[in-house]
Structure 1
Amino acid sequence: MQKGEFPWDNKDFRYLLVMGAGIVSGFLYFYWRDPGREINWKHFVQYYLARGMVERLEVVNKEFVRVFPVPGVTSEKYVWFNIGSVDTFERNLEAAQQELGIDIAHQVSVVYSTESDGSFLVSMVPTLLLVGFLLFSLRRGPMGSGRGGRGPGGIFSVAETTAKIMKGNIEVQFKDVAGCEEAKLEIMEFVNFLKNPKQYQELGAKIPKGAMLTGPPGTGKTLLAKATAGEANVPFITVNGSEFLEMFVGVGPARVRLENPSKPPQDAVGRKRSHGQFGGQNEQENTLNQLLVEMDGFNSSTNVVVLAGTNRPDVLDPALMRPGRFDRQIYIGPPDIKGRASIFKVHLRPLRLDADISRDALARKMAARTPGFTGADIANVCNEAALIAARHASPTVNEKHFEQAIERVIGGLEKKTQILQPNEKTIVAYHEAGHAVVGWFLEHADPLLKVSIIPRGKGLGYAQYLPREQFLYTREQLFDRMCMMLGGRVAEQLFFGRITTGAQDDLRKVTQSAYAQVVQFGMSDKLGQLSFDLPQPGNLAPEKPYSEATAELIDEEVRALIATAYQKTQALLTHCRDQVEKVGKRLLEKEVLEKADMVELLGPRPFAEKSTYEEFVEGTGSLEEDTTLPEGLKDWNLEQKEEEEEEGQGQRSQEKAF
């Protein structure tokens, strides 16, 4: 056994070892002790008392008598017999000695004693083990590691912070974050302040105390915080908001107070405080109040920066967002096409690609095919492409693997083993053909890339489109999108004279789009220039800021809009019935149709469309994302460069000396 395998130097380990050794020794004592030979009263009188072989008698625990023979008479140390009671034993012994003619001077002496037979120790073992465990827990910190500091420790360490302190072991740098250059510049300014505070203090400037990173999930909020910690080279305390709240009252504020303000930053946010509720404050409000007080205590001399990230800024308390606390709100939205290309370049670095594939060209092509993807989605696409290549035993990752990865992320796992009945497969083929033909002959519909009737995820059909990179939509564009989504239902009615449940998801999207146009975007002539919020999911009794008459008008307008879109789609597919049939039959034959197949069946699309990266970014100033730094941030890592130069000079001087 190697040295150091057992923690002999640990006090807790020695404590448990001694306690265990005591328990084992007690058991061994009672186990190996000579119990003697058991006899009865008659045997005692005839063979021991009558022959004068008894030296003394010992009544033990008023339960049995131990007979000690005269030394040298027998090899036995002692024998014993049970008694009913001490009084009866004494009377019987006196009567027996009188019958044997033993005078008073030579009668046997009797002593009384009390001994333990080990049962008490056995009954105390569970209690001892429980007490030992509690003492062991009190002497050690949570999860078996000594806290060595704040709070009582052990099982009473619920008030201790669960924050993790990281420094020097964070591999994420700003070069690993792409697609959010504006937010990166804002965060880079915080890093520059932490590394070079004099640059700001000499001008009388005060760095903001906190920054709130908001945006949809997967856009890079946490990654930016990690990059900040990796670049700033300062202690980084990370803790999420839910860890403040425990079942013990007061634990949340205590954890806020236990944070060391000399170790920036931390990640925590607070919900809105309740108004007009009976019953006093709750733990969430106490935590928020303590967080507000702590942030007010950070002054410009402490060099503390508080970073917070959330995808629900609407639930935050307004007191957090005022100047002096989280006075910078940095929104990180889904990246545009240039940002996606930059993100692809980052995630393509560790992949082994074909020798004839340019990483920059591949990144641009994949960026054009992934509109609306976040940074997390792009990372998932790159990882899925590598997994698909490994599944097919390919030595490198090629473009085909990336296309399959995009399809898997968008549509789900392909289910080639799922068996569809011939009539169901025909309905699915004509349903998807209806979508494709409507989108092909409508100007504002998205260009089609691929259509398939191989089941994916929960759906029986799959179509991949290439949406435009745009932020503003006209009424005509939204209307054409509604018609394209209704193409499947209309094709079912037109070719089979009945409808199925396959259009449920399409109808849900059409309904959401129609209500958004009428309620939010003010695109209804009858309703006028009004805008209301749509009911949020999970709100059982939403408050409507309009009357019942307005609600009825909204419902009428939505039904009229959907009915108009349905009629237009029906007229278009009736006119293009032969084209739908061609696409449906080809789908039944090949199961998957590319854009080239659609051009062969329907001819070139009669409207201009964009499909390449260069076409999408045309007129935006440059092909790549603008990553230039302001003058004040060009040397944000100057301190790090100086340290590297000093280390290099030190190594060169050592080499010369050697």
Structure 2
Amino acid sequence: MQKGDFPWDEKDFRYLAVAAAGAGSTLLYLYFRDNGREISWKDFVHRYLGRGMVDRLEVVNKQYVRVILMPGADAEGSYVWFNIGSVDTFERNLETAHLELGMETSRRPAVVYSSESDGSFLMSMIPTLLLIGFLLFTLRRGPMGAGPRGGRGGPFGMSESTAKMMKDNIEVKFKDVAGCEEAKLEILEFVNFLKNPQQYQDLGAKIPKGAVLSGPPGTGKTLLAKATAGEADVPFITVNGSEFLEMFVGVGPARVRDMFAMARKNAPCILFIDEIDAVGRKRGGGNFGGQSEQENTLNQLLVEMDGFNTATNVVVLAGTNRPDVLDPALMRPGRFDRQIYIGPPDIKGRASIFRVHLRPIKLDPNVDKDTLARKMAAATPGFTGADIANVCNEAALIAARHLHPHVGHKDFEQAIDRVIGGLEKKTQVLQPMEKKTVAYHEAGHAVTGWFLQHADPLLKVSIIPRGKGLGYAQYLPREQYLYSREQLFDRMCMMLGGRVAESVFFGRVTTGAQDDLKKVTQSAYAQVVQFGMSEKVGQVSFELPRQGEMVLEKPYSEATAELIDDEVRALVERAYARTLQLVQEKKDLVELVGKRLLEKEVLDKADMLELLGPRPFEEKSTYEEFVEGTGSLDEDTSLPDGLRDWNRERSGGKPDDDDEAAADARDKQQAG
């Protein structure tokens, strides 16, 4: 055990030694002192009092009498003692004994009264003292006590910041973060300022004081902050926003002050506040009097960030996936000057992220890592960095579960199914009629999407139960950000294909289409309320309430609400009518796919081509097709100049592996 591992310091041990010595001395004295010998009243009268061996009597604590004997009267001890019921009874019995023995008044032993401790009180207090000592130790050294830097203990230690400071041994670097090159370039500017501040100050430039990293969960905000710490040769102080809020009033502001004092002391440095929305929410939202602990903590944070000047060299980074709830005063220039949005990666970004997570995985020697990364990127639209890391980990787990020597392409396909659809339930018992209904339901989805121009290409359809669903179909959405009315309408028709197929083939409907109807309703309301795609409602846009959010007052009138409901219902009915017409036209193909699903349970795109023939519309299914006409085929070749210069500087003026690959790709592109 090294010094500093044990939470007690030298001063604590001195106090402990003094207390232990005092208590030990008292207990030893009480244990080894002469306790005399107990006798009865009859022995006292006939053996000691009647023979004249008593020097004096001491009534102690009104409980017992200590008989002090004449010197040399008894070799067994210096005194004997006996218990008494009460002092009055003892005095009467003693007077009676004197009269019976005929003792003269001058020869009678003197009686004195005294009180002393026998140690019982101290012994009874030991458990209480131990409990108080344990509570004091917990307050001094517990989670709410001393901070990570070993500061003061007791209740005063709760005001110390729980921030952790790292200076070295941070393994995450910029090369481990992919899919957000523009965000890395923004962060890189902060790192360069901290390492070369004079370069900016000579030109009169002022570096922004802070930046907020925002975006959906799993896109790499915290990972990017860790990579910043790994690349910068400055201290990195990290804290979570919820750690400022305690049950004691005033702890949050005190911890904010202590954290910024630590940052100034270690400047230049980077201060990272993760999940800042826990403490940075808008003020005045239902807090009585505006004096809540969260608001006081936020006010202290605003004051401390104003205290930074351009010469402080402290950069504050913050991470959140809810920037809409942050207080405007926190986001103004001079505090968090920049808002860096890190969204879900596109197909190029996903390929780069797959390359990062494929590094530690033992792949099949016949599988090219770069080719696999591109193929997986095309098959995982909408996945974030965390989802991709989960896919790679699941693939390795599946390969290990089946005792494969390497992780192959089949393992990755099963991992994608596991992440999208959930755990496969092969043992779930379905009645024959239920299984047939599920097969025709999924066949309706597949055939409808196959013959709709704007529907997404089908990758796989399965009737094996996964997660909460009894079947699922996997599609390959286009990499696009703008959708037309026709595209949204075709998607609605494709989602209604399962319900229509049930109605056409069985003359009834089931609860299996509940999720499809929910998506259709959301899409219809979004078109009418948000996107202005209804002629009757007009070119207006209202914000739809989030799931679980209570709306007290709608931003439109009752007449407009009725008009919106009518338009949504008409839109869904048009989509249902078109889907019904299409399913009736392709009824034989739906039945063919449904029967094949009952036989094989899983159909891929090759099976669909065999059953339905080529799709009558052009579609993209490979990485190269998706990125055609959008720039380079590889994200690394379109690396921003700032990052390329940074990599070259870190490698001593020589291009690193990524730069060499980028240079080779550019040469081949120019030659082509």
TM-score with structure 1 length normalisation? 0.90
Q: Relative to 1, partners in 2 of residues 1:31 and 1:4: Cα closer, same or farther, differing over 3 Å?
A: farther
Note if 1:265 corresponds to 2:275: no
Query: Superposition pairs for residues 359-378 of structure 1, below 5 Å?
Result: 359-378=369-388
* Map of 1:649 onto structure 2: none
1:142/1:153 contact within 8 Å kept: no
Alpha-carbon distance in 2 for matches of 1:108, 1:294: 82
Q: Relative to 1, partners in 2 of residues 1:579 and 1:632: Cα closer, same or farther, differing over 3 Å?
A: closer
1:62/1:86 contact within 8 Å kept: yes
Alpha-carbon distance in 2 for matches of 1:392, 1:13: 57
Alpha-carbon distance in 2 for matches of 1:250, 1:382: 45
Alpha-carbon distance in 2 for matches of 1:225, 1:19: 49
1:16/1:132 contact within 8 Å kept: no
Query: Superposition pairs for residues 617-632 of structure 1, below 5 Å?
Result: 617-626=627-636
* Map of 1:187 onto structure 2: 187
* Map of 1:65 onto structure 2: 65
Alpha-carbon distance in 2 for matches of 1:310, 1:478: 31
Q: Relative to 1, partners in 2 of residues 1:629 and 1:577: Cα closer, same or farther, differing over 3 Å?
A: closer
* Map of 1:473 onto structure 2: 483
1:142/1:155 contact within 8 Å kept: no
Q: Report deviation, 1:399.
A: 0.8
Q: Report deviation, 1:293.
A: 2.3
Q: Report deviation, 1:323.
A: 2.2
Query: Superposition pairs for residues 132-211 of structure 1, below 5 Å?
Result: 132-133=133-134, 135-136=136-137, 140=141, 142=143, 152-211=152-211
Partner SS, residue 165 of structure 2: strand
Q: Report deviation, 1:52.
A: 3.4
* Map of 1:75 onto structure 2: 76
Partner SS, residue 279 of structure 1: helix
Unaligned residue ranges in structure 1 (runs of 5+): 645-658
Alpha-carbon distance in 2 for matches of 1:180, 1:400: 28
Note if 1:310 corresponds to 2:320: yes
Q: Relative to 1, partners in 2 of residues 1:141 and 1:505: Cα closer, same or farther, differing over 3 Å?
A: closer
Note if 1:300 corresponds to 2:300: no
Alpha-carbon distance in 2 for matches of 1:637, 1:341: 20
- List per-residue Cα deviations over 1:174-230 (Å, max 9, x = no partner): 011100111111111111111111221122211111111111111111111111111
Q: Report deviation, 1:522.
A: 1.2
Alpha-carbon distance in 2 for matches of 1:143, 1:272: 27
* Map of 2:501 onto structure 1: 491
- List per-residue Cα deviations over 1:411-444 (Å, max 9, x = no partner): 1111112112222112111111111111112111
Alpha-carbon distance in 2 for matches of 1:104, 1:321: 100
- List per-residue Cα deviations over 1:386-426 (Å, max 9, x = no partner): 11111112221111111111111111111112112222112
Question: In structure 2, what residue type is equivalent to 1:66?
Answer: R
* Map of 2:341 onto structure 1: 331
2:147/2:160 contact within 8 Å kept: no
How many residues matched?
A: 643
1:195/1:639 contact within 8 Å kept: no
Alpha-carbon distance in 2 for matches of 1:414, 1:442: 30
Instruction: Supply the RMSD in Å over aligned alpha carbons.
Output: 2.9
Question: In structure 1, what residue type is equivalent to 2:382?
Answer: G
Query: Superposition pairs for residues 425-464 of structure 1, below 5 Å?
Result: 425-464=435-474
Alpha-carbon distance in 2 for matches of 1:186, 1:3: 41
Q: Relative to 1, partners in 2 of residues 1:277 and 1:394: Cα closer, same or farther, differing over 3 Å?
A: closer
Note if 1:612 corresponds to 2:622: yes
* Map of 1:553 onto structure 2: 563
Partner SS, residue 372 of structure 1: coil
- List per-residue Cα deviations over 1:589-647 (Å, max 9, x = no partner): 22111222222222222222111111111111211015656666655478866799xxx
Alpha-carbon distance in 2 for matches of 1:586, 1:33: 98
* Map of 2:581 onto structure 1: 571
* Map of 1:93 onto structure 2: 94
Q: Report deviation, 1:114.
A: 2.1
Partner SS, residue 81 of structure 1: strand
Query: Superposition pairs for residues 575-654 of structure 1, below 5 Å?
Result: 575-626=585-636, 635-636=645-646
* Map of 1:420 onto structure 2: 430
Alpha-carbon distance in 2 for matches of 1:564, 1:8: 76
Unaligned residue ranges in structure 2 (runs of 5+): 655-672
* Map of 2:402 onto structure 1: 392
Q: Report deviation, 1:525.
A: 1.9
Alpha-carbon distance in 2 for matches of 1:3, 1:322: 45
Question: In structure 1, what residue type is equivalent to 2:506?
Answer: F
Q: Report deviation, 1:290.
A: 2.3
Q: Relative to 1, partners in 2 of residues 1:627 and 1:123: Cα closer, same or farther, differing over 3 Å?
A: farther
Q: Report deviation, 1:146.
A: 7.0
2:348/2:635 contact within 8 Å kept: yes
Alpha-carbon distance in 2 for matches of 1:317, 1:356: 54
Alpha-carbon distance in 2 for matches of 1:165, 1:45: 81
- List per-residue Cα deviations over 1:425-464 (Å, max 9, x = no partner): 1211111111111111211111111111111111111211
Q: Relative to 1, partners in 2 of residues 1:624 and 1:424: Cα closer, same or farther, differing over 3 Å?
A: same
Q: Relative to 1, partners in 2 of residues 1:638 and 1:180: Cα closer, same or farther, differing over 3 Å?
A: closer
Alpha-carbon distance in 2 for matches of 1:643, 1:443: 52
2:146/2:158 contact within 8 Å kept: no
Q: Report deviation, 1:24.
A: 5.9
Q: Report which stretch shifted further, 535-544 or 425-434.
A: 535-544
Partner SS, residue 526 of structure 1: coil
1:7/1:13 contact within 8 Å kept: no
* Map of 2:661 onto structure 1: none
Question: In structure 2, what residue type is equivalent to 1:205?
Answer: A
Alpha-carbon distance in 2 for matches of 1:228, 1:3: 31
Q: Report which stretch shifted further, 33-42 or 585-594.
A: 33-42
Note if 1:502 corresponds to 2:503: no
Question: Identity of aligned pairs, percent?
Answer: 77
Q: Report which stretch shifted further, 43-52 or 293-302.
A: 43-52
Partner SS, residue 305 of structure 1: strand
1:221/1:309 contact within 8 Å kept: yes
* Map of 2:249 onto structure 1: 249
Query: Superposition pairs for residues 21-36 of structure 1, below 5 Å?
Result: 23=23, 26=26, 30=30, 36=36
Q: Relative to 1, partners in 2 of residues 1:140 and 1:583: Cα closer, same or farther, differing over 3 Å?
A: closer
